[in-house]
Amino acid sequence: MDYIKEIIELINNASLNPEINLTEELKHYHEKDIADAYLELDKDKQEFFRDNIDEQLLSDIFSYFAEENIEAIEELPNEEIADIVELMDVDDAKDVLDELDEEKQDEVKELMEGEIKDDLKLIDSFEEDEIGSIMTTNFIQVTTDLTIKEAMKKVVELAENNDNITTILAVEPNDKFVGTIDIVDIIRGKQTDSVETIIRHNTPYVYAHELISDDLEKLREYNLDITPVLDHGDHLLGVITSDDLVNIVDEELGEDYAKLAGLSEESDLDEPIRTSVKKRIPWLIILLFLGIGVSILISRFEVVIATMTVVMFFQSLILGMAGNVGTQSLAVTVRVISDTDLTKKENAKLVFKELKVGFTNGLILSIISFGAVFLFLLIKHAEIVVGEGYNIEHVLKLTSSVSISLVAAMTLSSLFGTTVPILLKKCKVDPAAASGPFITTINDCIAVICYYGLAMLLFYNFIF
């Protein structure tokens, strides 16, 4: 079904027929589809839409413009933006405001009224990497001094303005967190009993000043509809919803991907060239000097290259395959250690597994490469040692050098691709940020030493 087309047609009909209740009709559609349809309307129809829709529904729809198409909000008068943002959940409101330029953001905040202004101030008091910066205050709480009947009455009163009603938070009269209550237990419970009788006291929670990266695993493991966020006095400040968790995981994966590529942060399609360059250039400068280091290492084998110029033919093969297998091990390891805190035994198991995988893959590819390289040198009738002429024994030795160094380089690259991120995490360094660029260079060094070192040993009599 083309829901967007249906919605546009409905809005067009409503603009011609005042008897159509646009709000009621649009309640049958998802807010995301309505938001997409809004973007396809012309300016006059957009204005008609905003003037003839329920304010809360309009706010829910516009929350989808926080990450993309923020211009749909930016182009509105500040007073209208303030009215729309006031009705959003505080986390959505923060996302929208953060996308506005600083001057417009301040002007809109100045025009806003109500509790959300204080809620935004609370969330803004936390650093971007802290749990408190991504929590929402959209939840229902009841105090422990209520009966189940009184708690139900309060839930009914607050349900209209709260999305998260399946789990109710229980606090003492001083807002100190006690536990959670399932809405089903309130419905089934004996009306005259105290809510104390249905509270779950072992509910996991997080603290507002804890780092998002530190709590991510905990949030994912429990996978709660809402996770309470407390201050250090155990007073309830807000919650992390399942929707928030999905966004956190998505951002963390995006950041890890960017870091593995040697970027300081994610890039997007519309960002200025200057910004993209600024994100990428720091690691590229470091890699430039590391690459020079690899070149210097290769120069140490100048005598090997001078004696057997044909050896250069296969340098990129060894370096490339070592880099490929090392990157694979790195990606697997970063993914695993980001999800779980491994024990020493589990770390050893992961290293050993990747070592076996690297060796097995290296062995298979070395057999294939032996045949391919031997056939190439045979057809080319290549002179292996300068001045010695064509010699089948030399061909076999160089082919063996390529094949053996390939399996050695791939095995060692798998080892370093696994151990380096584990060691970095032990040292409290983000393995995704530091591993990628350094692993590339380490793998190159390993490949150079394996390849040229083995060639030097096999042709020692001709080199020295």
Q: What CATH number did the domain enclosing 85 receive? A: 1.25.60.10
Based on the domain organization, do 294 and 419 belong to the same domain? yes
CATH number for 184: 3.10.580.10
**How far apart are alpha carbons 237 and 126 in whole angstroms?**
12
Q: In this structure, is residue 365 part of a structural domain?
A: yes
288 against 355, higher pLDDT: 355
Tell me, what's the pLDDT at 426?
80
The answer to whether residue 20 scores a pLDDT higher than 70 is: yes
Tell me, what's the pLDDT at 368?
95
Q: Can you name the residues that pair with 169 across neighbouring β-strands?
A: 141, 180
Q: In this structure, is residue 196 part of a structural domain?
A: yes
At 75-84, the pLDDT tens digits run 899 999 999 9
Question: Are the CB atoms for 417 and 439 separated by under 8 Å?
Answer: yes
Name the pairing type of β-strands 167-171 and 226-230: unpaired
Q: What are phi and psi of 402, to 5 degrees?
A: -65, -45
CATH number for 385: 1.10.357.20
At 114-132, the pLDDT tens digits run 888 888 889 889 998 899 9
Write out the E strands in 184-277: 206-207, 226-230, 236-241
191 against 335, higher pLDDT: 191
**Per-chain mean pLDDT for the chain:** 85
User: pLDDT band at 435, cuts 50/70/90?
Assistant: low
> In the numeric block, which tokens belong to residue 190?
């004996």
Based on the domain organization, do 58 and 97 belong to the same domain? yes
Based on the domain organization, do 310 and 457 belong to the same domain? yes
Tell me, what's the pLDDT at 330?
81
Tell me, what's the pLDDT at 425?
78
Q: In this structure, is residue 206 part of a structural domain?
A: yes
Tell me, what's the pLDDT at 269?
45
Based on the domain organization, do 30 and 76 belong to the same domain? yes
DSSP string of 85-154?
A: HHTS-HHHHHHHHHHS-HHHHHHHHHH--SHHHHHHHHHHTS-TTBGGGG-B----EEETTSBHHHHHHH
Q: Give the chain's largest Cα–Cα span.
A: 102
CB within 8 A of 362, min separation 6: which ones?
321, 325, 406, 407, 408, 409, 410, 411
The answer to whether residue 311 scores a pLDDT higher than 50 is: yes
Tell me, what's the pLDDT at 331?
78
Element of type H or E holding 180: strand 177-182
> In the numeric block, which tokens belong to residue 237?
């400040």
User: pLDDT band at 324, cuts 50/70/90?
Assistant: confident
Based on the domain organization, do 336 and 448 belong to the same domain? yes
Residue range(s) defining the domain that contains residue 255: 141-260
Mean pLDDT computed over 133-140: 88
Based on the domain organization, do 287 and 427 belong to the same domain? yes
Share of the chain above pLDDT 70, in %: 90
User: pLDDT band at 267, cuts 50/70/90?
Assistant: very low
Tell me, what's the pLDDT at 291?
83
Based on the domain organization, do 333 and 436 belong to the same domain? yes
Domain total for the chain?
Answer: 3
Based on the domain organization, do 29 and 156 belong to the same domain? no
- Cα separations in angstroms, 377 against 352, 364, 394, 399: 36, 20, 10, 8
Q: ∠ CA(36), CA(38), CA(39), 5° rounding?
A: 70
